[in-house]
Amino acid sequence: MKRALEALREGKAVASSALEDYLSSAAADFEGLRIVKQTGMEFDDQVVTSLEAFLPVRDELLEVIQAVARYQPSDENLRKIHRFFEELLAYYAPPPTVMQWTDTDFDNFVFISYELFLHTLAIFIDAERFEQARSLIATDFYVGRNRGFGNRSMVASNSFDGELKSLQMRNSRLKLGRQSVQADLLRERCKSGLVRFESLAQADIVLYIYFKRQPDSWWYPQTSFFLGWSVKSVGGCR
């Protein structure tokens, strides 16, 4: 991370290579986050524990992405970030050797990737790198016939918007009475990061409006709960 940050900030010729090395290493290390179900422990507790443990790594990743947006938002570097998110989508399904799984098994991966994608868009929008933000939203992702996406080879960026049934079960099990535990986590986790919640919500609404205009597409703006807006009212935006 330090090598990538230094190269990006100082405009070194090795910046793109350092960025690729760092993001590839980070994506490969995601395998270490895979949850092994423990007897006597609620699965939603394991998911939340995994998300909490990931926060320092999330902030390191976002610091590097922010450096790209500020200092070297080149097409080449954007491709490195796009490729990083392609690698994260691989974790939305079981490894090839696993034959049995449930829909919730990958919920920590889904939340982390979803959160990182929202934060990344917010960083580019805040830096007024609008073309780069548009490219990340509009460019499909290669997932190599991923079982989690119906064996499709290419998927749109709204594939990051996953439903976390484990958090819905947590809401019910603990009688929290929340509209969305996922939205609560997104807001709470902004307190320790680089991105203000208002910027995250803005990126969320941009995604909603973009996919509302695409045929048979959808993005549900979880953060709109805290803006005093409903999805119906957001849909009236032009």
What pLDDT is stored for residue 225 in this prediction?
Answer: 80
CA distance 120 to 133: 8
pLDDT exceeds cutoff 50 at 237 = no
Are 202 and 224 in contact by the 8 Å Cβ rule? The answer is no
pLDDT exceeds cutoff 70 at 234 = no
Q: What is the pLDDT of residues 36-53, one digit of tens each?
A: 999 999 999 999 999 999
Tell me the β-bridge partners of 152: 146
CA distance 229 to 202: 12
Q: What is the pLDDT of residues 104-163, one digit of tens each?
A: 999 999 999 999 999 999 999 999 999 999 999 999 999 987 777 887 899 999 999 877
Q: What is the pLDDT of residues 197-224, one digit of tens each?
A: 999 999 999 999 999 999 999 999 999 8
Range 87-108 average pLDDT: 87
CA nearest to 63, candidates 167, 162, 151, 194: 194
CA distance 201 to 215: 23
pLDDT more than 90, % of the chain = 80
Query: Where do the structural domains in the chain lie, given as residue ranges?
Result: 2-234
* DSSP per-residue codes, 150-218: TTEEEE-GGGG----HHHHHHHHHTT---S-HHHHHHHHHGGGSSS-HHHHHHHHHHHHHHHHTSTT--
What pLDDT is stored for residue 229 in this prediction?
Answer: 53
- Round the average pLDDT of the chain to a whole number and report it: 92
Are 113 and 159 in contact by the 8 Å Cβ rule? The answer is no
Tell me the β-bridge partners of 142: 154
What pLDDT is stored for residue 236 in this prediction?
Answer: 43
DSSP 41: S
pTM for the structure as a whole: 0.93
- The bridge status of strand 152-155 relative to strand 141-146 is antiparallel
Phi, psi of 154, rounded to the nearest 5 degrees: -125, 140
What pLDDT is stored for residue 120 in this prediction?
Answer: 98
pLDDT exceeds cutoff 70 at 8 = yes
Q: Which two tokens stand for residue 167?
A: 């958090």
Range 187-203 average pLDDT: 94
CA nearest to 57, candidates 8, 6, 128, 108: 108
What pLDDT is stored for residue 238 in this prediction?
Answer: 33
